[in-house]
A and B are shown apart, each in its own frame.
Chain A
Amino acid sequence: MDLILEGLVKAFQLLASLDPEVLGIAMLSLKVSGLATLISLVLGIGFGTLIALTRFPGKKILVSLVNTGMGLPPVVVGLFVSILLWRNGPLGFMELLYTPSAIIIAQSVIATPIVMGITIAAMQQLPANLRLQILALGATRTQLVWMLIKEARLPLMAGVMAGFGGVISEVGASIMVGGNVKGYTRVLTTATVMETGRGNFDVAIALSLILLLFCFVINYVLTHIQQRERPR
């Protein structure tokens, strides 16, 4: 008990003093996960909309695969991505292992199915005749897709937030492909594990509090989005 209290006190001191290393780690987390979320936004909404609006053989299987992908354990993704990026692996020549880019790649792989799955569900939940109404208003195909995405913007945003929430709090992939190199690939989650291992609970708690704060903000926005009514 003392341990925790001591840790909490020291954690607040660290945060209040704006310790540069802690801040640096937090910023890196935001940057890396932010970029990964951006990529997943483009790919997830893009492919998700395409899949939702087109009819093709094997669609059900593909959607099932995407939904399965939503639950990919980050550490598994980390393992496979690191195998790809190893020096002696197929993409070794790109020298991406133990760089922030590697984490971004792995986190994109984690987040994209999440965004894609939610996009597919959201687009398919739009009223069946909305598509007809929009086309009847004289929209081109591009205008149609754009307007449908706009109509579904709230659940789509929720999907993106879910993707972000998933990757900013993952540690398995970050450790494997990032290597937790100080000041370079050390993010909130990997730093927390390391500091805990060293017994530096004050720092670990400080980092955890920041991570919790991020998670709370995400959840708050998500909840806010979900509470709105639907249009007639």
Chain B
Amino acid sequence: MNHLQKMLVVMLACFILSATALVPSSWSAQPQQKNLILATTTSTQDSGLLDVLIPIFEKQTGYFVKTISVGSGQAMKMGEKGEADVLLVHSPEAEKAFMGQGFGVNRKLVMHNDFLLLGPASDPAKIHGAKSAAEALKKIAQSSSLFLSRGDNSGTHAKEKGLWKIAGIAPEGQKWFQETGLGMGETLNVAAEKHGYLLSDRGTYLALNKKRHLGMEILVAGEPKLLNIYHVIEVNPAKWPKVNTPGAKAFSDFMVSAPTQALISHFGTKEFGSPLFFPDAGKPE
């Protein structure tokens, strides 16, 4: 072997050594089934609910939960590819398609909260007191008032699209309709700055408003179509054998268990005066 080859071998050895030095921590400390990958949405994560629930779950069961928060669409894609073990999402139409294609099992209702139509106090489109969200949206479109959309295929965005459909309006491309492509918090900030209307979930709005007063008003709320419903879905092990099935089941059971549901019902009351989520486990859809 000449010098060049010798050095190449040495280099390769170094590379392999350094690579293996990194791996033991995940190999020995956390044997295969201890890891649980939970795919959920940014709004769920941002509400802070999981920061309360996950540690309790981990303590009870010993699983190490990796909460990957992305948009609903991406969360379900992860489930489709078997890259997540369990999903906590709130996009019912998409979820039904997901289940229909056999990617998930044991879809259970967990909780709900609601969406709000928010806007500037001056309410130029005069949507305050509208009987339905769809009606409000029609007014906004007719008055060409500025509307901010997340435009990121998140659960919120999906809900919003559904409402535009009901209103019979195609807002894309219109000058008053702006898509930020950003998360809920950011979009709220943008709407506040620009004095525009938007659809937001209650939890994120309350949390953000507490931090810095946004100067917006809740204009339409409480309508059944504005409900935001959360389900927990286990990824189908038949499609993806590598999935951590016992872990997924444990999490799913945990989310609908009585103690957890009680926790959910109290979450946020201290800070915001009203709970951010309403537990629904066991109720009919």
Contacts and interface: CB of A to CB of B under 8 A. Distances in A.
A binds B: yes
A67 interface: no
Contacts of A56: 4
A182 B26 contact: no
B53 interface: no
Given A43-B11, A96-B23, A101-B23, A199 B3 contact: no
Contacts of B32: 95
Interface residues on A, range: 35 or more
Nearest to A101: B22
B212 A3 contact: yes
B23 A197 contact: no
A69 interface: no
B23 A199 contact: no
B218 interface: no
A88 interface: yes
Contact of B22 (A6, A50, A104, A181): A104
Interface in B154-195: 182-186, 188-189
A56 B2 CA distance: 13
A105 B69 CA distance: 22
B83 A43 contact: no
Contacts of A92: 242
A47 interface: yes
Given A43-B11, A87-B83, A105-B19, A181 B66 contact: yes
Interface residues on B, range: 35 or more
Contacts of A197: 42, 46, 182-186
A54 B51 contact: no
A200 to B, nearest CB: 7
Given A98-B68, A181-B66, A196-B186, A42 B18 contact: yes
Per DSSP, are chain A's interface residues mostly helix, strand or loop, or mixed?
A: helix
Contacts of A200: 185, 211
Given A50-B7, A86-B83, A87-B83, A39 B67 contact: no
Interface in B69-92: 69, 81-83
A38 B22 CA distance: 12
Contacts of A34: none
A89 to B, nearest CB: 9
A95 B183 contact: no
Contacts of A43: 11, 14-15, 18
Interface of B: 3-4, 7-8, 10-11, 14-15, 18-19, 22-23, 25-27, 30, 32, 35, 37, 42, 46, 51, 66-69, 81-83, 182-186, 188-189, 204, 207-208, 211-212, 240, 242
Interface of A: 3, 6, 35, 38-39, 42-43, 46-47, 50, 54, 56, 86-88, 92, 94-101, 104-105, 141, 179-182, 184, 196-200
